[in-house]
């Protein structure tokens, strides 16, 4: 249970990325508004979890200002997305196509990198795939912004869906490695006895 709570923010993001990617293949226009609202709820949950983590870390003397900043920004963005999904989707689709997903991926990437820094400072073992996941999310977000699909709306949703699913798979692999590594007990070094002369 403790391991589950420790990885809860990344688990929520991975689940959202997978669901969003699949939904984009079904009916992107109708579901994107729902996705924005769901993402808003996920961001609020992730933000609150990290606010409590920051408070706990402050009491233990290992708080990180970056963690607090990210938690506040993520929570605020989540509130806007949850309560105003329709206007956000209409504006974003008209002006920038799938930019909303680029923003989601970039926010997710920054959050994951910040979480990795927090874990390392707290002495928690985290595999390097966690960093790759964060960097990959930012890169994929930038790719969407560059619009390699041009004005082809169908290609836009397909490419974005594939990217979301791919990112979620990397997150899941990272979580599995973290759980496996946490269960490994460090090998005890044999006690060397000096030979008597």
Is residue 23 within 8 A of residue 35, CB to CB? The reply is: yes
What is the rounded average pLDDT for all residues in the chain? 75
- Tell me the pLDDT tens digit for each residue of 128-154: 777 888 888 888 888 878 877 666 777
pLDDT bin (cut points 50, 70, 90) of residue 195 is very low
Is there a domain that residue 50 lies in? yes
Is there a domain that residue 191 lies in? no
Q: How far is CA 46 from the centre of its chain?
A: 9
DSSP 81-143: HHH-HHHHHHHHHHHHTTHHHHHHHHHHHHHHHHHHHHHHHTT----THHHHHHHHHHHHHHH
Is there a domain that residue 114 lies in? yes
Is there a domain that residue 189 lies in? no
pLDDT value of position 167: 80
Is there a domain that residue 39 lies in? yes
Is there a domain that residue 86 lies in? yes
Is there a domain that residue 46 lies in? yes
pLDDT value of position 144: 79
- Tell me the pLDDT tens digit for each residue of 151-192: 677 777 787 788 888 888 887 887 777 777 666 655 544 544
Residue with tokens 């984009």: 24
Is residue 98 within 8 A of residue 144, CB to CB? The reply is: yes
**Structural domain total, the chain:** 1
Question: What's the burial of 100, exposed, middle or buried (CB within 10 Å: 0-12/13-18/19+)?
Answer: buried
- Tell me the pLDDT tens digit for each residue of 93-122: 655 566 777 887 888 888 888 877 877 777
Output the pTM of the full model. 0.55
- Tell me the pLDDT tens digit for each residue of 62-101: 666 777 787 888 888 889 888 888 877 776 665 556 677 7
Q: Which residues contact 10 (CB under 8 A, 6 or more apart)?
A: 112, 115, 130, 171, 174, 175
Is residue 181 within 8 A of residue 125, CB to CB? The reply is: yes
Full domain range(s) for residue 130: 2-178
The tokens of 107 are what?
Answer: 């926010």
């Amino acid at each position: 249970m403790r391991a589950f709570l420790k990885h809860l923010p990344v688990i929520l993001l991975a689940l959202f990325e997978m669901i969003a990617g699949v939904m984009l293949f079904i009916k992107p226009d109708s579901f994107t508004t729902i996705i924005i609202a769901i993402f808003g709820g996920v961001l609020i949950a992730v933000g609150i979890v990290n606010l409590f983590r920051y408070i706990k870390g402050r009491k233990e003397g290992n708080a990180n200002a970056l963690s607090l900043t990210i938690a506040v920004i993520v929570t605020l963005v989540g509130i806007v997305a949850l309560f105003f999904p329709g206007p956000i989707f209409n504006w974003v689709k008209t002006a920038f196509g799938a930019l909303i997903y680029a923003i989601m991926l970039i926010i997710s990437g920054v959050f994951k990198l910040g979480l990795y820094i927090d874990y390392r400072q707290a002495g928690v073992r985290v595999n390097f795939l966690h960093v790759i996941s964060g960097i990959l999310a930012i890169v994929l977000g930038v790719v969407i912004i560059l619009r390699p699909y041009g004005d082809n709306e169908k290609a836009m949703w397909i490419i974005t869906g594939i990217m979301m699913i791919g990112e979620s798979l990397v997150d899941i692999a990272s979580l599995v490695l973290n759980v496996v590594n946490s269960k490994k007990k460090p090998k005890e070094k044999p006690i060397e006895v000096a030979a008597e002369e």
